[in-house]
Structures are given as structure tokens and as C-alpha cells.
Amino acid sequence: MSDDNFVTVDIESKKFDNQMVFSKLKFSMKEGEIISIFGPSGCGKTTLLRMIAGLEVSDESDISVPKNQEFSIGFIFQTPVLYPHLNVGKNILLGHKTKLSKQEKSYVLKQSLAMIDLSGYSNRKVTTLSGGESQRVALARALLAEPDLILLDEPFSSLDVESRRKLANDVKRILKEKQVSAIHVSHDIEEAKIISDRILIWEEICTPNSTSNNNEDVQL
């Protein structure tokens, strides 16, 4: 792999209870790139993201990130993880790393809400939000932490087709504006085409019980 790769993933195998989940998985990405990994439900895409985030382990894996900086990862789950007892604004501010003054909080929230097209939603209860609005709040909170990489685990799958396409476009725009790298996984090829710079096909980067790995991708 070339020296300008931002993140590299090389996993020999991943098993649960001695049963193979996937093997011979290998890919890399450049800084600022958004890649989608396209594959059927249940093939192991979520497990892969959890391994990259450090939530799952394997003795036979090598996940490399830049060594010369404090590398941080954000995770957007399939179902938005929001705190129901907090309003939209307080949920978003949980992502900030440092304590803010009242004036700073107001400014940060105004900027974050405008970014996700939810201006005026600061005091709304998160229990009143639609699925798409909830994911926007989750994204704003994750970006407030200034991650180097965001992992997107089929974040639009619960939405209708029209909402899914719109949110995918909006998320790509926001990630590009913030210059944040992202790995998105999905079983929806149209969604993958919208949000990503490049698509990796699961069966081509990872073939269980295979001794070869093609690492082919789809250029957009």
C-alpha cells in the first residue's frame, strides 16, 4: 500500500464461536475520502466497523491509522443513539470536548443546527423527531467532537427511499465541507453511489475461505 494511505485495514480472519464471519479482508483509503462498502445484510459489515472502532477484536488483524496525531473516530449507528431526557441542543453539545461558556454554547449550537438544516430545533425534545432528523442530530454531535474518521453503519436504512437519498446527499455535503473521512456500509447500491467517492464490493475485498483477495472497487 502506498505511503499516502490514511487508513489501512488488513484482517486475516474474524470468527464468532469458531465460525468464520469473514477472512482475507483488505482495503485502504486516503484522507478526506468517503468510501462505501456494499454488501448484503448479515455479511459482517457492522462487525468490520466495530473492529475499526476498537469495539471488536481479532488476533489476526492489522488496522493502521496515522501515528503522528491523536486519532479519533466517530460512529453513527443504524438506529440513532440519542438521550431522550435531553433536548436536541443538549444532545448535540455532548459531542464537544471542552467546557463552553453560555455564549459559546449558543454560537456552537447555531452553527451545528444550521449545518444539518435544523435551525430552531435546539429546545425540541428528541422524542418528537423523525428518523431522518434524529440521524442529523447524531451526525452533528459526532462532528462536534472533530473526529478524523466517521463510521456510518447503514444510518439511513429505516427511512423511506426519498428521505434516504436526500439525507445521503446532505451527509456527503457536510462531510466534504468539514473535510472528514468516512467509511459507510450499506446494502443499498444507490445510496452508496450518492454518498461515496468510491465503492468497495464486499465479495471483492473479502471472500471467506478464499486464499486470494482482489481488492477491486467501483470508481464514481
Distance of alpha carbon 185 from alpha carbon 151, whole angstroms:
8
Flag whether 77 is in a domain.
Answer: no
- Return the C-alpha torsion angle 128, 131, 134, 139, nearest 10: -170
Give the pLDDT band (50/70/90) at residue 217. low
Instruction: Report d(CA 88, CA 141) in Å as an integer.
Output: 10
pLDDT > 90 fraction of the chain, expressed in percent and rounded: 68
Residues 152 and 215 reside in one and the same domain: yes
Last residue of a domain, one of 125, 145, 165: 145
Q: 137 with 174, same domain?
A: no
Query: 128 with 157, same domain?
Result: no
Q: Do 136 and 196 fall within a single domain?
A: no
Q: Which domain-ending residue is among 117, 145, 173?
A: 145
| Last residue of one domain, picked from the residues 145, 171, 188 | 145
Q: What is the pLDDT of residue 151?
A: 97
Is 98 inside any structural domain? yes
Note whether 154 and 137 are same-domain residues: no
What is the reported pLDDT for 214?
43
Do 125 and 163 lie in a common domain? no
CA-wise closest residue to 116 among 102, 133, 97, 98: 133
pLDDT (tens digit, 9 = 90+) per residue, 174-216? 999 999 999 999 999 999 999 999 999 999 998 644 433 444 4
Task: Quote the number of domains for the chain.
Answer: 2
Neighbours of 46 (CB within 10 A): 17
Q: How far apart are CA 189 and CA 39, in angstroms?
A: 9
What pLDDT does 142 receive?
A: 94
Q: Are residues 152 and 212 in the same domain?
A: yes
Residues 133 and 164 in one domain: no
Do 36 and 122 fall into the same domain? Answer: no
Spatial neighbors of 177 by CB under 8 A, at least 6 apart, are: 115
What confidence score (pLDDT) does residue 209 get?
40
Q: Name the residue range of residue 35's domain.
A: 5-71+148-219
Residues 6+ apart with CB under 8 A from 82: 91, 126, 134, 137, 138
Residue 76 resides in a domain: no
End-to-end CA distance of the chain: 21
Residue 82 has pLDDT above 60, yes or no: yes
Q: Are 22 and 124 contained in the same domain? A: no
Map grid coordinates 461515496 to a residue: 196
pLDDT at 218: 52
| pLDDT at residue 207, as a whole number | 60
Query: What DSSP element (H or E) covers 114?
Result: helix 102-115
Beta carbons of 132 and 181 less than 8 angstroms apart: no
- 132 phi/psi in degrees, rounded to 5: -65, -40
Task: State phi, psi for 57 to the nearest 5 degrees.
Answer: -125, 160
Whether this prediction's pTM lies above 0.85 is answered by yes
Confidence of residue 3 (pLDDT cuts 50, 70, 90): low
Region 146-163 average pLDDT? 92
What is the predicted pLDDT for the residue at 68? 64
> Could you read off the pLDDT of 164-177 as tens digits, one per residue?
999 999 999 999 99
CATH of the domain at 25: 3.40.50.300
CB 80 within 8 A of CB 135: yes
Residue range 31-46, pLDDT digits in tens: 999 999 999 988 899 9
Distances (CA, A) of 21 to 16, 101, 112: 7, 48, 38
Residues in the chain: 220
Q: Does the structure show a pLDDT above 80 at 52?
A: yes
Tell whether 66 and 115 lie within a shared domain. Answer: no
pLDDT in the model for residue 2 = 47
The answer as to whether 107 is a domain residue is yes
